[in-house]
Structure 1
Amino acid sequence: MKVRYTFRCYPTDAQAQELSRVFGHSRFVYNWCLRLRTDAWANGERINYNQSSAALTALKRTPEHQWLNEVSCVPLQQSLRNLQTAFGNFFSGRAKYPRFKGKRDKQSAEYTTSAFKYSDRVLSLAKIGRLKVRWSRPFLSSPTTVTISKTCTGRYYVSLVLDEQPHRFEKTGESVGVDLGINRLATLSNGERIPNLKFTRTYEKKLAKAQKSLSRKTKGSGRWNRQRIRVARLHEKLTNARIDHLNKVTTDLVRRFDVVAVEDLNVRGMVRNRKLAKHLSDASFGRFVSMLEYKCAWRGKELVKIDRFFPSSKRCSCCGYVAQTMPLNVRNWYCQECHTEHDRDENAAQNILNFALGQRVNAHGATVSL
């Protein structure tokens, strides 16, 4: 199984200068090839990866582009592969048309096995040398691909692609339904409630003040650049805090339960509601589900996604009665059939679990009444 681990690294000043050159060369090749393929498409032609690779070889031989030979050829070639992947995602409908890379965006360069050496936690890159890496977690196999990146805040990271079989958690025999929400990040079918820490609300005053200060400075000046980095660090701190919380919650769920059931929410459509868009984005439902998905696959657990049109909130988990309407402001309701009082989120989580278990039984040929 292919896994990716990311570690913080600390290049020396000379290495940082060389990495800046590698990033710039890789960015130039990516943008140059994107322009080449875009112009060719406008003229009714199509350029594939092999043709773009041959064009890059010819470009490096021209006198005005001899500087492309100053760095390792592997990151430049990988830029073409990344662009090919971007076009593949575009034509498959999974992403928008590739855009040009900017020097103030996140920078990255990818190295394959021919351009790096790894042995006993010592990583050396071609024409860069040995990197100081903070190895924060153990792994057994050797990396097949190394990607070094620099964030907008000036921090460097090394990402390793490994072929490993992650450690599987012990089976507990327990199942749980999870209902996602804004007031509470998740409500479990067993009654547990996971709070939504609302990180955007925590940092929004600091961000507003920092961004206001940035807008008052002359764009491109030294003070503007320093303030831009301060704003980027606040955004990075917010993102890291959110991801850390989601990682802890999802790992705990996968560790404790063998079957985790969630709704297949249309997050892209939900954020079009301008009144809830900020809160939905802050809760990160999509990232929450994607984390559950890959962690269940890694740890030998099962994730069941329920159809988004299943009336989990309006359905009574005791008798199956379905209410006609259920506005968002209704958090508790009485069933007209069995007269049971329900907490909206807990009832939805129980319905999600019941439906998921029914789906699993049906998959084995049994008949279940839902």
Structure 2
Amino acid sequence: MVQQQALRDFAQAMANYFAGTHGRPTWRKAGRHEGFRIVAVKPECVRRLGRHTAEVRVPRAGWMRFRLSRPVPDGVKSYRVTEDRAGRWHLAFAAVPDPVPAPGNGATVGVDRGVAVAAALSTGELLTMTGLRPPEARRLRRLQRRLARCRRGSRRRHRVKAAVGRMHAREADRRKDWVEKTSTDLARRFDTIALEALNIRAMTASARGTVDREARESQAVFRCRACGHTGNADVNAARNIRTAAGRAVAAREGPRVAGPVHRESQRDRLSV
């Protein structure tokens, strides 16, 4: 019975993958994506205890207390309990968040993503992603060297591996926090956001790039050989992305008809 259910789950996962709605299925690995989901949650199964604490009723385990990072949405029907690589347990309620309202100012921005500079805006802003601080990076290197000398299966290796996992989890939390705050800030400031489809993994694997070496004096300085314009290379790329996005939108909408046209109003849908 268990094997039949596993085969059905695998078939459904492959169907979702070929349909383009999900990623490629992967094998389960101990210590990753550990958790379970509880469905058919009733309102009385979640209650608030204080300003930053609440508790939820887990079947066959009783009431479990958790920290409120944000208010629990109304009408939730399920939640998932997971354990990350650092040994921390997380509780996530399934709910559709409210969309970020657009400013309605008609502003357009181009965003150039890179490795040295996380994001460069066509407005001239250079955004840098936060990660581990230098003392934390040195501690991580020491832990990794200690982990390499540990005997497999030993308790010492388990403790050191957990410490390395906590360092990586701290770095991932900071990067995710930066991405969420930056994307929300852009959505509140601009109506249209143009991004270039880049393969960051391939860029970091081969950093030689395809930029003209004579035009690009360094990683950050760009000098046009035709007109002599000098500026930041990442900001210049972001402005090119914004210009290309404007041309694509104009070509998609087609030529405008001069004079008033009697037609029903339609709401433009812009993907951010």
Flag whether TM exceeds 0.5 (same fold): yes
Q: Given the alignment of the two structures, is residue 110 of structure 1 paired with residue 50 of structure 2, yes or no? A: no
CA deviation string 1:42-70 (max 9, x = no partner): xxxxxxxxxx23x89xxxxxxxxxxxxxx
Distance in 2 between the 1:136 and 1:130 partners? Answer: 18
CA deviation string 1:191-250 (max 9, x = no partner): 112124454876442222102112222222222221121111111111112212222222
Cα displacement (A) at 1:326: 5.1
**1:332 corresponds to which letter in structure 2?**
V
Q: Given the alignment of the two structures, is residue 101 of structure 1 paired with residue 29 of structure 2, yes or no? A: yes
Partner of 2:13: 86
Task: Assess, with a 3 A threshold, how the Cα gap between structure 1 residues 133 and 267 changes in structure 2: closer, same or farther.
Answer: same
1:251 to 174, 181, 184: 184
* Aligned ranges 1:26-65 → 2 under 5 Å: 33=3, 52-53=4-5
Task: Assess, with a 3 A threshold, how the Cα gap between structure 1 residues 249 and 139 changes in structure 2: closer, same or farther.
Answer: same
Cα displacement (A) at 1:186: 1.6
Distance in 1 between the 2:102 and 2:192 partners? Answer: 12
Partner of 1:218: 151
Partner of 1:357: 246
Structure possessing the higher relative contact order (Cα contacts under 8 Å, 6 or more residues apart): 2
Cα displacement (A) at 1:139: 4.5
* TM-score when normalising by structure 2: 0.75
CA deviation string 1:57-102 (max 9, x = no partner): xxxxxxxxxxxxxxxxxxxxxxx75x45533355457644531432
Q: Say whether the 8 Å CA contact 1:176–1:259 is kept in structure 2.
A: yes
Partner of 1:261: 194
Q: Say whether the 8 Å CA contact 2:112–2:195 is kept in structure 1.
A: yes
**2:158 corresponds to which letter in structure 1?**
N
Partner of 2:172: 239
Q: Given the alignment of the two structures, is residue 195 of structure 1 paired with residue 128 of structure 2, yes or no? A: yes
Q: Say whether the 8 Å CA contact 1:116–1:126 is kept in structure 2.
A: no
Distance in 2 between the 1:149 and 1:338 partners? Answer: 56
**2:148 corresponds to which letter in structure 1?**
S
Partner of 1:179: 112
Distance in 1 between the 2:217 and 2:78 partners? Answer: 47
Secondary structure, counterpart of 2:95 in structure 1: strand
Distance in 1 between the 2:189 and 2:226 partners? Answer: 34
**1:98 corresponds to which letter in structure 2?**
T
* TM-score when normalising by structure 1: 0.57
**1:251 corresponds to which letter in structure 2?**
T
Distance in 2 between the 1:237 and 1:106 partners? Answer: 17
* Aligned ranges 1:291-306 → 2 under 5 Å: none
Q: Say whether the 8 Å CA contact 1:86–1:98 is kept in structure 2.
A: no
CA deviation string 1:119-155 (max 9, x = no partner): 4545212212222121221254222321101123221
Partner of 2:160: 227
Task: Assess, with a 3 A threshold, how the Cα gap between structure 1 residues 201 and 84 changes in structure 2: closer, same or farther.
Answer: farther
Q: Say whether the 8 Å CA contact 2:111–2:194 is kept in structure 1.
A: yes
Between the aligned residues of both structures, percent identity stands at: 26
Unaligned 5+ residue runs, structure 1? 1-28, 34-51, 57-79, 277-312, 315-322
Distance in 2 between the 1:120 and 1:363 partners? Answer: 51
CA deviation string 1:279-314 (max 9, x = no partner): xxxxxxxxxxxxxxxxxxxxxxxxxxxxxxxxxx97
Instruction: Indicate the RMSD between aligned Cα atoms, in angstroms.
Output: 3.4
Distance in 2 between the 1:114 and 1:199 partners? Answer: 38
**1:113 corresponds to which letter in structure 2?**
A
Cα displacement (A) at 1:346: 1.7
**1:99 corresponds to which letter in structure 2?**
W
Task: Assess, with a 3 A threshold, how the Cα gap between structure 1 residues 348 and 99 changes in structure 2: closer, same or farther.
Answer: same
Number of equivalent positions? 248
Q: Given the alignment of the two structures, is residue 128 of structure 1 paired with residue 61 of structure 2, yes or no? A: yes
Q: Given the alignment of the two structures, is residue 270 of structure 1 paired with residue 203 of structure 2, yes or no? A: yes
**2:241 corresponds to which letter in structure 1?**
I
Q: Given the alignment of the two structures, is residue 155 of structure 1 paired with residue 94 of structure 2, yes or no? A: no
**1:193 corresponds to which letter in structure 2?**
L
Unaligned 5+ residue runs, structure 2? 49-54, 257-272
